[in-house]
Amino acid sequence: MKLLRYGPLGSEKPGILDHEGRLRDISGLTADIDGPFLAGPALQELRAMDLSRLPLVEGQPRLGACVAQIGKFICIGLNYADHAAESNMPIPQEPVVFNKWTSAVVGPNDDVRIPRGSVKTDWEVELGVVIGKTASYIEEHEAMDHVAGYCVVNDVSERAYQIERGGTWDKGKGCDTFGPTGPWLVTRDEIPDPHQLKLWLEVDGHRYQNGSTATMIFKVPEIVAYLSRFMTLYPGDVISTGTPPGVGMGVKPEPVYLRAGQTMRLGIDGLGEQCQRVVAA
């Protein structure tokens, strides 16, 4: 299933794409696509429903982030060997963990705002993993049972804030609008192997990233089990699993960073596409 949220900012309704790619309203079944819905019986009821009987949504409404009320937005850094190389950083022995603040979350096609004073705002297409079942101290072989599905994430990053201003990476990762999420939450049954997905990103039509989740260092089960040793993962939490090479910071001979007026397009096989206009904050 492809679950989504549509409508004006702050007033999104829950929806689903039917087998013909048409948007159907599911607000009669759930108030939102959130943790309680993902963990509860309504999701199973939806699997058994005839989607053609659900109300059809006309037009092309704005899409919100595909998960509402995200509890934790956890990110894994340097999780592709070739991206670590372009960043001149060693391959990590354990997952590098940082956070995005939930105020960074926006819809997949909403504007991305360059922070005031920023000169090094960058892009990162990533596979997002959405938790559907509480996980605490789980083993790797159990991990996939705790995954509700997957989505596209753009891990927008301000490199000077991240690297040059001391402290943790978080200050360069969690700025407002730095977490476009969606367009859909694709349930786990539709993605047989999350480690065989092509992912890409373009800026103004130039393709900078063109990678595959096959080159991830730490795979999804290992990441979920690892994180569960340090925190309880709850339904509706989102894990962004790292980016392939091709970020602006790694462009040779000189890095390339985002400017107001540019457009980012990005996508992952089976998970849909995003498109964001870059604006000044």
Mean pLDDT of 85-111: 92
Mean pLDDT of 173-178: 97
Residue 30 has pLDDT above 90, yes or no: yes
Tell me what pLDDT residue 140 has.
Answer: 98
Alpha-carbon distance 267 to 189, whole Å?
Answer: 19
Max distance between CA atoms of the chain, in angstroms, equals 56
The CATH-assigned architecture of domain 73-280 is: Alpha-Beta Complex (3.90)
> pLDDT (tens digit, 9 = 90+) per residue, 99-154?
999 999 999 999 999 999 999 999 999 999 999 999 999 999 999 999 999 999 99
SS3 205: coil
Alpha-carbon distance 56 to 36, whole Å?
Answer: 24
Specify the DSSP class assigned to residue 183: S
Tell me what pLDDT residue 54 has.
Answer: 96
Q: How many CB atoms lie within 10 A of CB 73?
A: 26
CB distance 181 to 152 below 8 Å: yes
Q: What percentage of the chain has pLDDT greater than the value 90?
A: 94
> pLDDT (tens digit, 9 = 90+) per residue, 197-217?
999 999 999 999 999 999 999
b/e sequence 130-154, b meaning 16+ C-beta within 10 Å: bbbeebeebeeeebeebbbbbbbbb
Rg of the chain taking only CA atoms, in angstroms: 18
Alpha-carbon distance 181 to 1, whole Å?
Answer: 17
Residue ranges per structural domain of the chain: 2-53, 73-280
Tell me what pLDDT residue 15 has.
Answer: 98
Tell me what pLDDT residue 98 has.
Answer: 96
Residue 4 has pLDDT above 80, yes or no: yes
Under the banding of pLDDT at 50, 70 and 90, the label for residue 191 is very high
Q: Name the average pLDDT for the chain.
A: 96
Alpha-carbon distance 137 to 174, whole Å?
Answer: 27
Alpha-carbon distance 58 to 25, whole Å?
Answer: 10
> pLDDT (tens digit, 9 = 90+) per residue, 216-225?
999 999 999 9
Tell me what pLDDT residue 241 has.
Answer: 98
> pLDDT (tens digit, 9 = 90+) per residue, 52-84?
999 999 999 999 999 999 999 999 999 998 777
Under the banding of pLDDT at 50, 70 and 90, the label for residue 51 is very high
pTM over 0.85: yes
Tell me what pLDDT residue 150 has.
Answer: 98
Mean pLDDT of 233-260: 96
Residue 167 has pLDDT above 90, yes or no: no
Tell me what pLDDT residue 120 has.
Answer: 98
Under the banding of pLDDT at 50, 70 and 90, the label for residue 168 is confident
CB distance 120 to 247 below 8 Å: no
Tell me what pLDDT residue 226 has.
Answer: 98
